[in-house]
Chain A
Amino acid sequence: MNLRRIGTSLIAPVIGLLFSLAITAIILVAINASVSTVLSSMWSYGTSPRAMSLMLNLATIYFLSALAVSIGFKMNLFNIGVNGQYVLGAVAAAVVASNLTLPKVASVTIAIFAAMITGALWAGIAAWLKVARGVSEVISTIMLNFIAIGIISYIIVRTGIGTETSLNVRGTKPIPESGMLRGSAFIDPGTSIYGFFFISIIIGIGYWFLLNRTRFGFDLRATGKSASAARTSGVQSNRMIYVTMFLSGAVAGLVGLPYLLGDTGTYSLQFPTDWGFTGIAIALLGRNNPLGIALGAILWAFLDISSGQLILEGVPREISTIMQGLIVIVVVISYEVVRRYQVKSEQTSVAKAMAKQEEVAAV
């Protein structure tokens, strides 16, 4: 039965992929592009060492973002504010780390904590608004995104925290090399894989243990499956909202760090600010499961990285964005279809097994 369950849980994403590939092919045909050339050139570029290194780096970021979102999803709490949480986390880490002259381990650890605490506190505002004032976390976290970005612009442009890091670009003071986590170039000699790649694997494993092997994880999942039953079982829903939001925000705080500590060393106004939304899509793709999220993140990163190839083929690169969107929609739909089928088939299998028992009993 468990094997079958794993089988059915793979069916949905596979169907989703094939289906969106088919639609993409139709679109390509409609704009007079050669389907096979486009796909093969995306594939051949995407599997080159350099592209794979870039892909893993980007996937690391997406993975953390999706993990942060899915902690909330697990209890039906929608943290749409990963964007705000990670930009503030990254700024906090950048400010702290740039003022430290400590050994690498200590400096990076402190930067990580600064980012996590900042992200958690920012998300905590939404939790407080929900518990105390009944404000939907969807609304408040979206609003907090704008506020966070506004605050950062102010800090960097108007206060002494910001300096001119390169021509006409203001950012935080650069982090000394001792505070960076650049990783190593083990796939492509010219491209480092972020040190955070490994940290994010550890976080993924930790996430799985927390959710599936701890009492807290059980409380969280129970709340997601049935809030009323969880409450009856002794879960304090308000406390759960706080803890879950803090956790989600803490992981969200890390989202910017692979890039900050592995590449730029400064938070400038050119720092990307929308990885949080990508995380939502990938959390949906991966069904809040760390392994699924990892695969989803890699797929997403592959499409992002190889989209550059599309221009060379004379095809608008937005095709890859269309594909990403299609995959999410189709996969989400096929998850639901498969889930319904699963519930039905389980019910009939129970009925069958029971009918047999009854017959035996009747004889």
Chain B
Amino acid sequence: MSQSALAVELSGIWKRFPGVIANSDINLKVASGTVHAIVGENGAGKSTLMKILYGMQKADEGTISINGTNLIFNSPSDAIDSGIGMVHQHFMLADNFTVLENIVLGSEPKNGIRLDFEKARKQISDIAAENGLAVDPDVLVSELGVGDRQRIEILKVLYRGAKILILDEPTAVLVPHEVDELFNTLRDLKKEGLTVIFISHKLDEVLSIADEITVIRQGSTVGSVNPHTQNVSARDLAEMMVGNELPNPEAVGDTIQAEVVLKVDNLAVFAKGGKAIVDDISFQIHAGEIVGIAGVEGNGQAEILDALMGIESATGRVQFKNEDITNKSTRHRRELGIGFIPEDRHRQALMLEAPLWENRMLGHQTRTPNAKGIWLTPRSAKADTKRIVEEYDVRTPSIDILASALSGGNQQKLIVGREMSGEPKLLIAAHPTRGVDVGAQAAIWDHIRHARQSGLAVLLVSADLDELIGLSDNIKVLLRGKFVADADPATVTPQELGTAMTGAGEVA
């Protein structure tokens, strides 16, 4: 197969969803036998594009051409038939099946009506040997780690005859040495003549593995670079990704006031078995100060926030404006003026099957404009919901529709608007702009900065390091439930922060 032949060509792809245009005029050319990376921010439209290529969603406009033939995919099985395989970000494996059973699941080799496991076993071990994917076919998947599971997912698509592999954020769940192993595998696959489409927003990884990089911003392709021939840095790519929206770390001057709003001493949260998930952390936040927590997801961020809100039981001491709230209820904390944007908005922040205005009341159901004494005041709650929809640019035709009808980004805007209402003194926010389009993201940042100027204290958890650096006055690095380092957002780079988060090195 020659290097110049195109394995995949997408042209003029458009895809609209409620409230957002996920893809607008996407053009993508992937050469056969290469690793082609697609990078872009969260919500830039990468995943949608890949779902279109894999037949899970249909494009509103545009053409898909595989190996030079124009095709229309009505379902993933059409895509599989044309040699496309997808490795999802979240693994889709049956825990109580063996590796072998998982791989053949759905396309079992039959001998009459009997399953021909011997044939399958041979086929799989051939494929595994060719591509350097070492797995034991008879182990239960539940006993395997993340890296192994990912290898099984890759084997699964190879077993179905895929020549073009789509990997959706494959490194998000891996630790560094597993990333290295994955990259070795990808290089082997490339040698075998396979084409790999690699979706990521981790720029260093992309630079080290990709032969070609296409950047997507706000749903459109903004350009392609070849890291072998062109001299591109992660910074260049980042600028392509965010355009001129790249947050400026010194946007607003110092607004930190003397008053301590939140003081946390020796906070610890324990798992059922007694293992500390949050391990003896102490910090304080002043009025007008934004403290950022940097860390790989699952290092205790969610537990810290839940403990501060009184949802999770914890040991230690929490003080809010000189009041000891350690043993106070969640409602009491909210009524004191603590706003909360949780990590998992569907689970913790919304009633999906309730109208927007009822969702406006959630968490604020004891205060104006939602209630007076024991009575609800739906009229003023509705009026205030309209205000939020206006101010936060929630794209919805009405405030009476169910929250489930909104796109994720618009749900998030509603939540942020709600939690910023009623002049909170402290905002506890996890990923406040996750899934939100770039324009609205800047608007949410402005709202937060503005509130900070009038004395709002903010505890910010975010996976978006640029956001963290751009907004925070102080950054604390969280690793395995402990603060392992402090970083000064004025000087630290996302790269340095990223390194510190994995515990690999100290922040400069």
A residues with CB within 8 A of B: 1-2, 212-219, 221-222, 225-226, 228-236, 343, 346-347, 349-351, 353-355, 357-358
What is the minimal beta-carbon distance from B436 to any residue of chain A, in angstroms?
15
Query: Which of the segments B129-137, B196-204, B345-353 contacts the partner chain?
Result: B345-353
The minimal Cβ–Cβ distance linking B24 to chain A, given in whole angstroms, is 10
Residue of B nearest to A223 (CB): B351
Interface residues of B (CB under 8 A from A): 16-21, 309, 311, 329-335, 340, 342, 347-354, 358, 361-366, 371, 374-376, 378, 395-398, 400-402, 404-406
CA distance A251 to B332 in the complex (A): 31
Q: How far is the CA of A231 from the CA of B365 in the complex (A)?
A: 12
B352, A226: Cβ atoms under 8 Å?
yes
A232 and B342 in contact (CB under 8 A), knowing A226-B350, A357-B395? yes
Q: Do B376 and A214 touch (CB < 8 A)?
A: yes
Which residue on A lies nearest to B349, using beta carbons?
Answer: A229
Asked whether B402 lies within 8 Å of A215 as measured between CB atoms, the reply is no
Complex Cα spacing A228 to B347, Å = 6
Q: Which residues of A contact B334 (CB under 8 A)?
A: 233-234
Nearest Cβ distance between residue B98 and chain A, in whole angstroms? 34
The residue in chain B whose Cβ has the minimal distance to the Cβ of A344 is B405
CB-based contact A350/B331 at 8 Å: no
Residues of B within 8 A of A343 (CB): 353, 402, 404-405
Residues on B with C-beta less than 8 A from A357 are 395
Contacts A215-B371, A230-B362, A354-B397 aside, 5 further interface pairs with beta carbons under 8 A come to: A222-B354, A234-B331, A353-B396, A354-B18, A358-B16
* Chain B residues closer than 8 Å to A354, beta-carbon distance: 16, 18-20, 395, 397
Contacting A225 at CB < 8 Å: which of B330, B342, B353? B353
Among the listed B21, B361, B405, which residue makes an inter-chain contact with A358, where contact means beta carbons less than 8 Å apart? B21
Q: Which residues of B lie under 8 Å from residue A233 when comparing CB positions?
A: 330-331, 334, 362-365
Q: Is the CB of B311 within 8 A of A231?
A: yes
- Contact between B398 and A1 (Cβ–Cβ < 8 Å)? yes
Separation of A232 and B344 alpha carbons in the complex (Å): 11
Report A-chain residues with C-beta under 8 Å of the C-beta of B402.
343, 346
A349 to B400, CA, bound (A): 12
- Are A346 and B366 interface neighbours, CB within 8 A? no
Provided the pairs A215-B371, A232-B309, A351-B16 are in contact, do residues A2 and B342 lie with their beta carbons within 8 angstroms? no
The distance from the CB of A74 to the nearest CB of chain B, in whole angstroms, is: 12
Bound together, the chains give a CA A236 to CA B333 distance in angstroms of: 13
A323, B130: Cα distance in complex, Å? 65
Chain A residues with Cβ under 8 A from B362's Cβ?
222, 229-230, 233
CA distance A222 to B354 in the complex (A): 9
Chain A residues whose C-beta falls within 8 Å of the C-beta of B21 in the assembled complex: 358
Chain A residues closer than 8 Å to B374, beta-carbon distance: 214-216
| Min CB gap B69→A, angstroms | 31
- Write the nearest CB–CB distance from B353 to chain A, whole angstroms: 6
Tell me which of A236, A349, A351 has the highest count of chain B C-beta atoms within 10 A of its own C-beta: A351
CA distance A216 to B375 in the complex (A): 9
For residue B407, give the distance in angstroms from its CB to the closest CB of chain A: 8
Chain A residues near B309: list those with CB within 8 A: 232
A222→B400 contact, CB < 8 A = no
Minimum-distance CB pairs A-B, first 3: A234-B331, A353-B397, A233-B363
Cα separation A235 to B396 with both chains bound (whole Å):
28
| Contact status B16-A355, CB under 8 Å | yes
Q: Are the CB atoms of B401 and A1 closer together than 8 Å? A: yes
Given known contacts A1-B400, A1-B401, A215 and B365 CB-to-CB distance under 8 angstroms = yes
A226-B347 contact given A232-B311, A232-B340, A358-B16, CB 8 Å threshold: yes
Shortest distance from the beta carbon of B382 to any chain A beta carbon, whole Å: 12
- Contact residues in A for B376 (Cβ distance below 8 Å): 212-215, 217-218
Residues of A with C-beta under 8 A to B348: 228-229, 232
Distance in angstroms between the alpha carbons of A349 and B402 in the assembled complex: 12
Residues in A neighbouring B364, C-beta threshold 8 A: 233
| Nearest CB in chain B: distance from A284 CB, A | 17
Enumerate chain B residues within 8 angstroms of A234, measured Cβ to Cβ: 329-335, 363, 365-366
